[in-house]
A and B are shown apart, each in its own frame.
Chain A
């Protein structure tokens, strides 16, 4: 069984986002980029577990991005991916990203495609579903547990107010979140092996974007918190009425 894990590079969560070029671009100067945690901690590690238990034979990685994404690809290889493909284009359009990956995936044919439930930069959370649609296979999002039983998968997923257990046939795309696996730390053996594992660069399919980002806006600065003592209920009512204007 061949598994494809979709990975992406995202800014570290402690990044202070600043904008440039009339707020049309995010300033990447001084930003530390990391492997998207949902891809790394859950999708990739679960794939590795399938290989370790003998269910999967090969773990392939794919990312859409320019050469600056290679350090995070090699981190994923250090964790245990067997080989990687980088589709050589910048993309923040989820549809384009899905098309690029689908076109590549078709050339290999994967039994299982795992990705994170979203990437923590744009948080669209749609690439997995679009990828499944483009490949005309099933999709399960928000997975919290993934088990493989011969040619089927048993997936638990979070739903509003509860949990659902699905039984699906392979091939399938599953978007993973917390619960699917436990994060791992790359060890020295993996780090040293990462250099020798194949990282192939391929050209993206030619396709026109369907969306464009016109401008970005930073969230407004948080207003300070006013503390009111429990005995001063009148003051609280007055503040809610006069300042917050909610009553």
Chain B
């Protein structure tokens, strides 16, 4: 690895083998005035229309969710990134991510919003022909029509291409007749248009169809009873020789699986943004309660045990957010480059997104697990009231849980992270071999004690991140060599590697964000952010060491194992950080501001 080489246009997955310069990452502290105004509109909309109605929303009061979607549509929030020629506002991916993040604090509403503006709208926008786009997209962007997406079936969840739904052409060649059963369909209860996946005849791959709710043969089951996101409409949708005009075939025959996968890449990244927004909201609720609730004569926010939780919630959230917007910017840049090279804009968007599918999977996992941690500790900070259905943590806790399941379970996303990385290496798109061999060579040489290196504000963390890359290259290289074709089936090892990659990507994103922030605002004005970075990277080193050790102890033996374990120790070594004091500093800021404030 050339450690001094920095690239602006980093390719997807390249974070493992390249350095990125802080000046080239986008950080949320750089939102412009217009973006901040859009964010404020989202906040105000939630505060005035959604949050006071959460109980009514969860009771699925007739027409309420649909009405809220209409209101969001009237504000323009459903068409943020839809091009202006289709009734949207043509904003960039980061801005639509900002809206997703802000509305992510809206519990079930955020699910309805995300499903509509993501999987409900994007398949038609990205894969529809001109007539289909003209017919459906403006109505979806305005909210006049609501969208849903029918992929999952009772027997095909993660293995989406194994669906049983079938379509056959009528004798006159004018219609497809779809028969099948779709499950867990978000927004089904009030959707006007569904993107439905089914195989035509005995095709190997899925095709996709645009189905309107009034098409003959489409029926809805009753609402599912769910653990959380109770206000989100979730139903089974039945297709019984459902009559779909041939012109409603989306894209080409058998292109459905590709559509499903590509739309999921965007969905995963967006889920990251949405859960970051939800985490911030939970932290604000938690600190407000901690500042009010007194025990033993003092607000519980004065106690170290509670401060630890508040700080840890903020550390993980800030770290996730750093990764979300770094990757969003990278996707945008990749798209711009593809457009500049002559590719049509829609195709460029899809390709640019696909390029960062590894990062999207990482972000989905990290942000959803962060929200689960944040909500769980939110309940704990509320104590007895945390367990009461009268207080907000009950809903936050239940609503959080689905995020580790939908848009690809976190297990599937972890496996994809490693699988995509290795496939790209095999295709020659990513040179992992060269850097891995270099690390193997370094293992045999005398360790670099780094005595001569110049100290700067970020030199330690930069060194740690560079070493994390070496640790992963060493363990992953060893796993490929030892397990070879078998590696794909060794899921525990894949999970270990995915966790290591995730900690690396998030650590690096966080380090780059704080470095850029310090350059913008000065070191004295980002003390807590520096603490967040130090604690996170300190913990990440331990997690990477643990995952690496588990993997090595499984596939390596004898001297080789000893040598790699020593290497792992070397590459995950960090100098002592006073994490207790750092967490106290972070918590003190949140407590004094009485809200999430980074």
The chain A residues found within 8 Å of chain B, CB to CB, are: 14, 16, 70-71, 74-75, 78, 183, 185-189, 191-192, 194-195
Q: Are A188 and B80 in contact (CB under 8 A)?
A: yes
Interface flag for B456 (CB, 8 Å): no
Complex: A70 Cα to B80 Cα, angstroms: 24
Contacts of B595 in A (CB 8 A): 14
B33 touches A188 (CB 8 A): no
In the bound complex, CA of A70 to CA of B32 (Å): 13
A14-B594, A192-B89 known; A186+B34 contact, CB < 8 A: no
CB distance from B123 to the nearest CB of A (A): 23
Known A-B contacts A14-B594, A192-B89; the reply to A186 vs B36 at CB < 8 A is no
A and B contact pairs by CB, cutoff 8 A, 19 listed? A14-B594, A16-B592, A16-B593, A71-B33, A74-B33, A74-B37, A75-B37, A75-B40, A185-B48, A186-B41, A187-B74, A188-B38, A188-B41, A188-B89, A189-B76, A191-B38, A191-B76, A192-B34, A194-B37
In the complex, chain B residues whose CB is within 8 Å of the CB of A185: 41, 44-45, 48, 75
Cα-based distance from A78 to B45 in the complex (angstroms): 15
Does A195 lie within 8 Å of B34, measured CB to CB? yes
Residue numbers in B under 8 Å from A191 (CB-CB): 34, 37-38, 41, 76
Q: How far is the CB of B32 from chain A (nearest CB, A)?
A: 10
Closest chain A CB from B33 CB (angstroms): 5
Min distance, Cβ A200 to any Cβ of chain B, angstroms: 18
The reply on B77 being an interface residue by CB < 8 A is yes
- The B interface is mostly helix, strand or loop, or mixed, namely helix
Task: From B34, B37, B89, name the one whose CB has the most chain A CB atoms within 10 angstroms.
Answer: B37
- Complex contacts, A187 vs chain B, CB 8 Å: 41, 74-76
Residue in chain B with minimal CB distance to A192: B89
Q: Provide the residues of chain B in CB contact with A71, threshold 8 Å.
A: 33, 36-37
Of residues 584 through 598 on chain B, the ones whose CB sits less than 8 Å from some CB of chain A are 592-595
Query: Is B36 a contact of A188 with CB atoms below 8 Å?
Result: no
The 4 closest A-B pairs by CB, nearest first: A188-B76, A187-B75, A188-B89, A185-B44
Give me the interface of B with A, judged by CB distance under 8 Å.
33-34, 36-38, 40-41, 44-45, 48, 74-77, 79-80, 89, 592-595
Within the assembled complex, what's the spacing in Å between the Cα atoms of A75 and B34?
Answer: 9
Residues of B contacting A14 with CB < 8 Å?
Answer: 594-595
Residue pairs across A and B with CB atoms within 8 Å: the count is: 46
Which chain B residue lies CB-closest to A184? B44
**A189 closest partner in B (C-beta):** B76
A192 CA to B91 CA, complexed, in Å: 10
Q: Is the CB of A78 within 8 A of B37?
A: yes
For B79, the chain A residues whose CB sits under 8 A away are 188
> What is the CA–CA distance of A195 and B38 in the complex, to the nearest angstrom?
13
Residues of A within 8 A of B34 (CB): 191-192, 194-195
Instruction: Report the Cα distance A195→B76, complex, angstroms.
Output: 17
Q: Are B77 and A188 in contact (CB under 8 A)?
A: yes
Closest to B35 in A: A191
Docked CA distance A49–B593 (Å): 37
A14 to B77, CA, bound (A): 26
**How many Å from the CB of B399 to the closest CB on chain A?**
24
CA A189 – CA B89 in complex, angstroms? Answer: 8
Chain A residues with CB under 8 Å of B75's CB are 185, 187-188
**Alpha-carbon distance A136/B34, docked complex (angstroms):** 39
Distance in Å from the Cβ of A218 to the closest Cβ of chain B? 15
Minimum CB–CB distance from A33 to chain B (whole Å) comes to: 12
Provide the residues of chain B in CB contact with A195, threshold 8 Å: 34
> Among the interface residues A70, A75, A187, A195, which one has the most CB atoms of the partner chain B within 10 A?
A187
The docked-state distance in angstroms from the alpha carbon of A188 to that of B95 is 12
Cβ contacts under 8 Å, B37 to chain A: 71, 74-75, 78, 186, 191, 194
Q: How far is the CB of A225 from chain B (nearest CB, A)?
A: 11
A75 to chain B: which residues have CB within 8 Å? 37, 40
Distance to closest chain B CB from A141 (angstroms)? 27
Chain B residue contacts of A78, Cβ below 8 A = 37
CA distance A78 to B37 in the complex (A): 9
Q: A75-B37, A183-B48, A188-B41 are known; give 9 further A-B pairs, CB within 8 A.
A: A14-B594, A16-B592, A185-B45, A186-B37, A187-B74, A187-B75, A188-B75, A189-B76, A191-B41
Q: How far is the CA of A75 from the CA of B80 in the complex (A)?
A: 18
A199 → chain B, closest Cβ, in Å?
Answer: 12
Bound: A70/B38 CA distance, A: 16
Closest to B33 in A: A71
Chain B residues within 8 Å of A188, by CB: 38, 41, 75-77, 79-80, 89
Cα distance, A187 to B74, chains bound together (Å): 7
Chain B residues with Cβ below 8 Å from A194 are 34, 37
Q: In the complex, what residue of chain B is closest to A183 when comparing beta carbons? A: B48
The chain A residue with its CB closest to the CB of B294 is A224
Residue of A nearest to B297 (CB): A224
A186 to chain B, nearest CB (A): 5
Q: For residue A74, which residues in chain B have a CB less than 8 angstroms away from its CB?
A: 33, 37
B474 vs chain A, min Cβ distance (A): 44
Contacting residues, chain A, for B593 (C-beta < 8 A): 16
